[in-house]
Amino acid sequence: MTDNNTQILNLLKTSRGQLEGIIKMIEDNRYCVDISKQILAVQAQLKKANLKILDRHIKSCVRQAFAEGNGDEKVNEIIDIIDKYAK
């Protein structure tokens, strides 16, 4: 497993733990603002994991597609993802 995969997995596992904590907070009827803060923290972790995945994709798959002369499709994929980020 690569170091990048390890970092991504750690971020996702941390997010999973945080989600379990949020569920427990809701079950325990905890203060709404505290729950909201924890949700924002999970979103930040997931965003960081996603950016690492996209970074790897651009540096490997997109680069390879350009070397093979068919990079336009990969660029369109990235543009679609960026569009979703912007919403």
Residues 8-56 pLDDT 10s: 999 999 999 999 999 999 999 999 999 999 999 999 999 999 999 999 9
**Domain of 76, in residue numbers:** 3-86
Find all residues with CB under 8 Å of 87, minimum gap 6, and list them.
Answer: none
CATH number of the domain residue 26 falls in: 1.20.58.1000
Per-residue b or e along 50-63, where b marks 16 or more CB atoms closer than 10 Å to that residue's CB:
eeebbeeeeeeebe
Confidence of residue 59 (pLDDT cuts 50, 70, 90): very high
pLDDT for 87 equals 77
Cα 61 to Cα 81: distance, rounded to the nearest angstrom: 15
Number of domains in the chain: 1
Residue 5 above 80 pLDDT? yes
pLDDT for 23 equals 98
Cα 54 to Cα 34: distance, rounded to the nearest angstrom: 30
